[in-house]
Structure 1
Amino acid sequence: MVLRRRYRWLLVLAACGGAAALGHQLLWTRRLLDLLGAGSEASARVFGCFFLGLALGAAVGEILARRVRRPWRLLAVAEAGIALLSVPALLLPAWTGWIWPALGPEGLLSAAGPVLKFLLSFAVIFPPAFVMGWFLPLAAPAILRGPLELGRHGLMLYACNTLGGVLGLAVVALLALQWFGAQGAMLTVMAVNLCVAVGLWRLDRGPEQPAANLPAAREDARRDRGPPSPTLRAPLLLSAFSGFAILAAEVAALELVMLVAPLSFYAPAAILITVILLLGAAAAVTPLLERKFGGAERLLPTILILSGVATAAAPLLFFALALHGPGLPPAATLTQFLANLLVFCLLCLGPGLFLAGLVFPLTTAWLGTHRGNRSGRSWGWLLAVNGAGGWLGAELAYRLFLPAFGIHLTLGGVGLLYVLAGAAVYAAQSRPRRTSDGALALGGGLVVLLLLTVWLRGLPVTNPHQNFTILREQTGREGTIAVVEHPQLGRAILVSNQYILGSTQVHHDQARQAHLPLLLHPAPREAAFIGVATGITPGAALDHAGVDSITAVELSGNVLAAARDFFDDHNRGVVGHPRAVAVREDGRTWFAAARGRYDVVVGDLFLPWGPGEARLYSVEHFMNVRRSLRSGGIFCQWLAMYQLTPEQFEIIAATFREVFPETHLFAGGFRHQSPILALVGFADTPLDWDVVADRCREERAAGGVRDLLMRHPEGLATLYLGPLRSEDLAPVGPLNTLGNLRVELDAGRERVTGNPGAKYFYGSRWLEFAGRRESLLGETGLLPDHLAPHPRAGRLLMEADLAWHRELPQTADLLREAFRILPATMLRDPAADRDTWPGKPALP
């Protein structure tokens, strides 16, 4: 009775420990990526340090279990140690702020950069992950005595630990980050560790186990002493394979579902919760299946083969649901969205992941039948190789399988590996073989081969109803990047089947994103661009003869390759140009390292709900960009207003103005459907319209800039929406920081719930905003007299664009009134390209 009561208490502690472990993993990953950058290599380093820490910790825990007399006390100290070892991650910004400035951009690109990033990842994540790995190897032998055995009670301990991880992920991702911010969430998870430590300490101080069980424990320990025996080789191999295959399948499954799940912080978290829920459920039902179907050894080949078939068939199920079924129905609330996504994942991924999730628990039950392993004395070795295999599977999936074969064939290939493993286990078994098992192995292999060679090859990654022609398609840790042709968009970059990352159809608008800030600076020699996309924006800087050097910083290597290979005729060959340097790095990391380097920095249009992208709207990033500017420098951050609610814009604008008190607003054109806005921050000088006139005169003489508006100060004045003053902004509460993720979380909720876009700035709402800004500008008197009427002309042209699209009769009157304000010398500029006009109707 005492033993069972202890066991029940341990199940609760295991669930709480699992919740803390997965909560930590999510928070550590975000914390490290805030420092190291959100690139694929940084993600790989963080993931690798966590999984290898768990694996090595499990191996050391197995060794400690054979030597420690008071395992509960050691586990209590270990749980408290996890909280203590999490302090470096908690205080990461405080003790790492000096690193990138000291290293500098050159050091960041040298061998020292990756080495330093690895050492930081290792120092912050590996020690607490290593201690986490002790829990199950130490707890199982300590509790599995008498009637309690590994194949049943040990697996329930594992299931509770895994399902606790689901709870931890859900609470941290959906509640704690929103309520407490990153630092508060980390303190909450550390408090859970301390509570678990207190519970384990109570176990150590509780009644001792019955003496009758102690000889059995000593006998188990004697038999299991030393390295794994030959009888453990098959379970070890199966455990390693299980970790390898299921993590490879999970990686591909995540990329598959993200083809339809709205890009947001919440979607990957919900998918991960679904996967871990399936793994925990599989572990919980394994003892029942084992008793019902005749033992783990007999079940393993069948489960492996069925896992292979279900995994390979997952893309077919996905497309049946996404294209011909209900797909992901609209959700009114975040809870409803998460429930819809959970059901969708369970239907298309559930069979494969659940069956695959049975392999390791069945291998554990099989281990429990080995002589001397009933108490779980060798379980730590299985946990260790399972974790190491999982790390290897995820890495190979991201680095090799997905880039080489794509999502669908990767899942098919993993399915084939499961079938082959099942056939190998079946062939190696010493018990009498049944004909039905052999037939199942042969049939499963044929089905998977058919899937690989016929059905999976024809499945698309992009939506077949969108009329895209695929020119190149690459999948990896960065997601799925496709270069496409479209009748209306021209050539474009499509990200994860959801987001267009620039297109040739609007290449003049993208070039203007470079021209405008460069014309506001008196002598821009060194310019930098955060985000490359098609390369059209940084390439436009090459039209300015006075610009000596361009630095284009891009996170994705696949995007850089696409810009080089498919858009060089529109981006002036900027990737590889003698005056330009293309850097593959996170923009935040790069500008933290580059101090006093640039005259002008231009931030691209970043997706506010994209996972991690809103970091580029944080006060920490804006501070780093300001430090990267020379005296008189300018930072221009472009905002896609059609992707922002008024509240989100106010947060970003207030955050920007906190760092750049001298901020001015410029529209990117006259289009009402997809308006963009520039926040232009001046480091230590005011906006000077005489400088603008001189710069336009220089560029007209040089002949490089042919955009009609950008060749004349009157053109820039039509886009001017005035200064951003503190009194113009509503109270927004806390600014957007890396710690509170305000913009990312709010934009993500808006994107996945209700009617996405109903509150965004476009159409009439954008015109109302522009009208208010024009009225406020009239009160300031900042424009010279000859330019003062031109912002009104800009507003009239925005109204004309709306009227033209709605086929309203007042279009001609609005154009006539606007053109009366604009000078004829600009409208009839013979050297200007009239196709650059940023609105409808086109200039005659």
Structure 2
Amino acid sequence: MRDIRRGAMVTVFGLFFLSGFSALVLQVVWMRELSLLFGATAQAAAATLAAFFLGLAAGSAYWGRRSRRITRPLRSYALLEVGVLVAGLGYFLLAPAFAAQYGTLYSHLAEPAPGLLVGIKLLLALVLLSPAALFMGGTLPVLSAWLVRHPAALGRLVPLLYGVNTAGAAIGALSAAFLLPPILGYDGSYLLALALAGGIALSAWWLGGRGSAQMLEGVQASPPQVPAVALAAEALPQAWLRGLAFLSGFVALALEVLWTRMFAQVLQNSVYSYAVILVVFLLALAAGSFVAGWLARRRLPVVPTLVGLLCGAALLVALTPQLFFWLTDGLGYLGAGRDWPDYLRTLGLAAVAILAGPTLVLGVVFPYLWKAAEAGARSPGEQVGGLLALNTLGAILGSLAAGFLLLEWLGLWRAIQWLAGLYLAAAMLLTTLAVAPAAAGLCARPWLAPMLVLAPVLGFLLLLSALDAGRLPVVRTDSVQRAETLLEAREGGAGTVAVVRRGEHLGIKVDNHYTLGSTRGHGLQQRQAHFPLLLHPAPDRVFFLGMGTGITAGAALAHPVKEVVVAELLGDVIDLAAEYFRPYANGLFEDPQVRLLAEDGRHHLGATDEAYDVIIGDLFVPWKRGNAALYSLEHFQHVAERLAPGGLFAQWVPLYQVTAQELGSIARTFTAVFPHVTLWRGDFLPEGPIVALVGRLDAAPLEPAAVLRRARALRADAVAGDARGPQDSVLPDPDTPPLLLYYAGNLGRAADLLAGYPLNTDDRPRLQFSAARAQRAEAAGRRGWLVGEPLIDFFRSVLAAAPVADAPYLARLAPQQRQAVPAGLDIFAASLADAQGDAEGAQALLARASRALTANAPGNPDTGDGDSGNRDAGDRGPGDLDPGRLRRDLEALRAERDAAIKALEQRIERLQGG
């Protein structure tokens, strides 16, 4: 019978482990889905998190009070899991209805009343998440009522139960990042978690039946044989218990936010990297709960133990910035050059080395309070629920304070130091209110009281001297080799934004290594606006998804536009760009035609009812957390809905961070929404190229006369510093638009090339998972990006699948003008040949391009047959053309390539791992 009872207890603990697993998977899916609905801003994330934790806190308090009247706790626990299941299914019904109405609220409140809109997001999140969270919050108090018969056993058993549930949550976090969504998708993962909750409910209901009740009765712990006077001497007043429970939640969640921001300075920052940090954090908290239960069984005096825990946690927390700075070699990129398994191993070891110790001690403090609460008069469930509710409320305020106050007021390092100081202050108060001497007397150790008073004092001295983190730099700069100087840095919950001067150029970067742009590639960044706008006959309203330095968006003002709307996720980026990049942004920050939104661009397009003639997506690296959603089917559908009649959408893709597999997935997803898609090169740099997917809903052909007219106007009024390409000397025909040299093909008519690639959707964001792995494989040299010869082969395959001669999009071009397309590919190939040291081959390719463009030009004696673009480079040597002109062409090509290399230098350096 004893073995049966032990087995039943293990079963219940196993069910609670699975409950933690299920709850974390549900939380991950909820947070992600609501970030798509409300936007990925820090304010929206905070509203969602606060709603979830408020539900947990309310559930803990409510079910804790009710536990006194519960006669069959296991069956009540089963009903709570049923509540989670039903509320979770209700989310599926309510969320689409909310999404349908949310756009109206956003359109009316986003700009005039952003604070009110955040409040509405919180209210909506409460309605969606609180029912399930209310039931989740009651599970620990109700199970504690089953497990603990007498309050004197709280400290020995409840931490074990709490730790098992937290360990389940850690494994749930791991599965929600590495296993479930890649296999099942987010909807499938969600349904699996709900099914798991249902299975837990059925099992707990059976265990709580009449036949099982007698068998399980002996499982409940009887009170330990401790004299009542001893319990009274160890008791903490309820006010202290509540205050420490609140403080523990506040500090723990604030540190989770700060430590996540700390690691973001040196990581790949994909969904996997964040998951590793979260898993280490949760596992360490779980281990802390087990240690708390072990300490409770040791019969140590409560108050001195708490003082020691608070002081130890404070010093270990204060040590994390120094240790982090040392292990990352001064904020260097973590795991540079390592492949996927080695990168994860490096990250995991670093997270364990830096976070495991302090988090474990932090994780002891709160569960150990149940030991201090054993002498209270409350029932076990009520005591557990009350403290858990206060701990959760502290967690809400801690996460909000860290993200919105501490980082901005104190900065990352000082904020960590300040939180360590809070624990030392709590320890000092414990020792000065005449509580510690009584506990010391109980132990018959008269020397213990002065030591307890001295410990926090020494802690403060260390915090202000050897462990002072305020001296550490916020941003890594290289003043020796790169002549870098930090001009300004701003820290916030969404990232650390810095402006850096390198030589004579300015750059803006986020989270230490990720460069948004610089003045070095001024002209090339302008092209990202010029090319799409030239393709539209009359662009009045333009939307930019992403801003960076503002150089690209500012270039739109050189066109006859009436309004330019720019959405940038980070408000600090807007502020710093306006302060430092104003001379390069063509009046972007002064022009009344411009609206700058500190907003998630995808969210804005999905919620607004405004229509735009041209929408331009910035270069988004697919592996970066959240960026896969900007290449998803649902996002492209939102964009299509926001296009005015005849409008177009241009999404730039950084091929220097994309494999053929990722580009195929992006292109197939893009063509699934837009029936007419053309592909355009952004430069002639085969080792660091960008391309634009330009989608339309109609079949309007290119108007060469309009493009040429506006291109000439742009050239006449060009912004100083605009890069000039080889088309300036290669194109002899004054009626051929230079833009045609960048045309790479019609993907809409080359659908067979894309048929084998998977769609990237919100439910199955394949790009999010595959791109992160590909980035590490490339860094280790085991896989290459779509650059160089493979890219040229891809361009050739697109032109072969959709020949230029019968392309409807080019129907209004003369046959001679169409020769610019293969000529542009030859120029691109010449750039690669020259970069590889083959100057002769580069000149031959340029000669073929020149012949193709001059074969039928007016007044040219060599009329040819119009198909010279298909001839071999060896048909005629470069000597048939003016050698001096070919040299000038090659020099122009090199100049463009060098300019692009400089512009991309910092970005590639960051993205490929430093």
TM-score, structure 1 as length reference: 0.91
Corresponding residue to 1:73 among 72, 75, 82: 75
* Aligned mates of 1:736, 1:204 — CA distance in 2: 45
Superposition pairs of residues 592-607 of structure 1, within 5 angstroms? 592-595=606-609, 597-607=611-621
Corresponding residue to 1:502 among 517, 527, 531: 517
Match of 2:739 in 1: 716
SS in 1 for 2:439: coil
* Aligned mates of 1:424, 1:653 — CA distance in 2: 62
Deviations 1:182-238 (A, max 9, x none): 100000000111111112212320223788999999xxxxxxxxxxx9921111111
Q: Is the 8 A contact 1:108 1:593 kept in 2?
A: no
Match of 1:58 in 2: 60
Match of 1:682 in 2: 696
Corresponding residue to 2:424 among 419, 437, 452: 419
Shift of 1:242: 0.7
Letter paired with 2:17: A
Deviations 1:692-728 (A, max 9, x none): 4354367359735776569985311100011112444
Return 665-674 or 1-10, whichever deviates more.
1-10
Q: Aligned pair in 2 of structure 1 residues 460, 631: CA closer, same or farther (>3 Å)?
A: closer
* Aligned mates of 1:841, 1:153 — CA distance in 2: 66
Match of 1:397 in 2: 402
* Aligned mates of 2:757, 2:86 — CA distance in 1: 32
Shift of 1:778: 4.2
* Aligned mates of 2:102, 2:61 — CA distance in 1: 36
* Aligned mates of 2:94, 2:791 — CA distance in 1: 40
Superposition pairs of residues 337-486 of structure 1, within 5 angstroms? 337-368=343-374, 370-372=375-377, 375=380, 377-428=382-433, 429=435, 430-432=438-440, 433-451=448-466, 453=468, 455-462=469-476, 464=478, 467=482, 468-486=484-502
Shift of 1:688: 1.5
Letter paired with 1:760: W
Letter paired with 1:496: D
Q: Aligned pair in 2 of structure 1 residues 327, 734: CA closer, same or farther (>3 Å)?
A: closer
Match of 1:772 in 2: 797
* Aligned mates of 2:526, 2:711 — CA distance in 1: 19
Q: Aligned pair in 2 of structure 1 residues 595, 147: CA closer, same or farther (>3 Å)?
A: closer
Q: Is the 8 A contact 2:619 2:654 kept in 1?
A: yes
Letter paired with 2:607: A
Corresponding residue to 1:800 among 804, 820, 830: 830
Corresponding residue to 1:527 among 515, 519, 542: 542
Letter paired with 1:569: P
Return 148-157 or 171-180, whichever deviates more.
148-157
Structure 2: stretches of 5+ with no match in the other structure: 224-234, 441-447, 729-734, 859-884, 887-891, 901-914
Letter paired with 1:717: L
SS in 2 for 1:669: coil
Q: Is the 8 A contact 2:271 2:624 kept in 1?
A: yes
Match of 1:761 in 2: 786
Q: Is the 8 A contact 1:797 1:839 kept in 2?
A: no
Shift of 1:812: 4.5
* Aligned mates of 1:324, 1:629 — CA distance in 2: 47
Shift of 1:158: 0.6
* Aligned mates of 1:18, 1:616 — CA distance in 2: 31
Deviations 1:247-281 (A, max 9, x none): 11111111111222212111111100100000000
Return 402-411 or 1-10, whichever deviates more.
1-10
Letter paired with 2:313: S
Shift of 1:793: 3.0
Q: Is the 8 A contact 1:31 1:89 kept in 2?
A: no
Q: Is the 8 A contact 2:58 2:134 kept in 1?
A: yes
Shift of 1:169: 1.2
Structure 1: stretches of 5+ with no match in the other structure: 218-228, 829-833
* Aligned mates of 2:120, 2:376 — CA distance in 1: 47
Superposition pairs of residues 87-102 of structure 1, within 5 angstroms? 87-91=89-93, 94-102=96-104
Return 271-280 or 747-756, whichever deviates more.
747-756
Shift of 1:628: 0.8
* Aligned mates of 1:442, 1:7 — CA distance in 2: 44
Match of 1:222 in 2: none
Deviations 1:747-779 (A, max 9, x none): 122224564673211233323323434445545
Corresponding residue to 2:674 among 660, 685, 698: 660
Identity %: 31
Superposition pairs of residues 639-658 of structure 1, within 5 angstroms? 639-658=653-672
SS in 1 for 2:462: helix
Match of 1:26 in 2: 28
* Aligned mates of 1:147, 1:34 — CA distance in 2: 45
Matched, 1:289 2:303: no
Matched, 1:513 2:528: yes
Deviations 1:7-38 (A, max 9, x none): 33221111111111111111100111111111
TM-score, structure 2 as length reference: 0.84
Deviations 1:378-436 (A, max 9, x none): 12111011011011111111111112222222111111222222222222323334333
Shift of 1:152: 1.0
* Aligned mates of 2:895, 2:99 — CA distance in 1: 44
Q: Aligned pair in 2 of structure 1 residues 84, 464: CA closer, same or farther (>3 Å)?
A: farther
Letter paired with 2:279: I
Q: Aligned pair in 2 of structure 1 residues 644, 198: CA closer, same or farther (>3 Å)?
A: same
Q: Is the 8 A contact 1:801 1:841 kept in 2?
A: no
Q: Is the 8 A contact 2:303 2:439 kept in 1?
A: no
Q: Is the 8 A contact 1:520 1:691 kept in 2?
A: no
* Aligned mates of 1:551, 1:530 — CA distance in 2: 9
Shift of 1:5: 4.7
Q: Is the 8 A contact 1:282 1:355 kept in 2?
A: yes
* Aligned mates of 2:402, 2:217 — CA distance in 1: 50
Letter paired with 2:424: V
Matched, 1:839 2:907: no
Shift of 1:806: 3.8
Shift of 1:288: 2.3
SS in 2 for 1:480: strand
* Aligned mates of 2:101, 2:359 — CA distance in 1: 42
Letter paired with 1:436: M
* Aligned mates of 1:794, 1:730 — CA distance in 2: 23
Corresponding residue to 1:266 among 257, 268, 272: 272
* Aligned mates of 1:106, 1:789 — CA distance in 2: 50
Shift of 1:289: 3.2
Return 606-615 or 329-338, whichever deviates more.
329-338
Letter paired with 2:791: W
Radius of gyration: which is bigger? Answer: 2
Match of 1:160 in 2: 164
Letter paired with 1:736: N
Q: Is the 8 A contact 1:71 1:139 kept in 2?
A: yes
Return 72-81 or 427-436, whichever deviates more.
427-436
Shift of 1:535: 0.8
CA RMSD of the aligned region, Å?
Answer: 3.1
Shift of 1:80: 1.0
Matched, 1:194 2:195: no
Shift of 1:674: 1.6
Match of 1:220 in 2: none
Return 148-157 or 772-781, whichever deviates more.
772-781
SS in 1 for 2:66: helix
Q: Aligned pair in 2 of structure 1 residues 547, 779: CA closer, same or farther (>3 Å)?
A: closer
SS in 1 for 2:346: helix
Superposition pairs of residues 192-341 of structure 1, within 5 angstroms? 192-205=196-209, 206-208=212-214, 231-292=237-298, 294-323=300-329, 328-329=334-335, 334=340, 336-341=342-347
Shift of 1:67: 2.5
* Aligned mates of 1:804, 1:743 — CA distance in 2: 33
SS in 2 for 1:497: coil
Match of 2:37 in 1: 35
Match of 1:610 in 2: 624
* Aligned mates of 2:570, 2:516 — CA distance in 1: 12
Shift of 1:376: 5.0
Shift of 1:139: 1.3
Letter paired with 2:897: G
Q: Is the 8 A contact 1:20 1:168 kept in 2?
A: yes
